[in-house]
Amino acid sequence: MIAFLQENSVYSLKDGIGECEATVQIYVGEKENQSMKKSAKIIHEKLQDSFIKVLPNMYHGEFSINHADDYVRKLLEIVK
């Protein structure tokens, strides 16, 4: 756990991320800690054509775990 937390605290985006041509959708829970929200905002700012959505009343990972039907529906929309 200590190694995991240490790695998370020193991670930084690669310089070339702004060259990404993929359409990226970023989802972050409204109840996530501020560092996760900040990271989502930074990624969104670095990726020109990205989309960011704050999921109301959700914590980290809750979209895919507790709302799996909605999550899969969203994934299917994306890949169509």
The per-residue pLDDT for range 31-55, each reduced to its tens digit, is: 999 988 999 999 999 998 899 999 9
Residue 8, pLDDT > 80, answer no
55 closest CA partner among 42, 65, 43, 45: 65
- What is the Cα–Cα distance from 32 to 63, expressed in whole angstroms? 12
The per-residue pLDDT for range 50-75, each reduced to its tens digit, is: 999 999 999 999 999 999 999 999 99
Query: Which pTM does this prediction carry?
Result: 0.80
Which backbone phi and psi does 51 adopt, to 5 degrees? -125, 135
- Residues forming beta bridges with residue 34, ordered by sequence position: none
**Could you tell me whether strands 51-55 and 25-29 are parallel, antiparallel, or unpaired per DSSP bridges?**
parallel
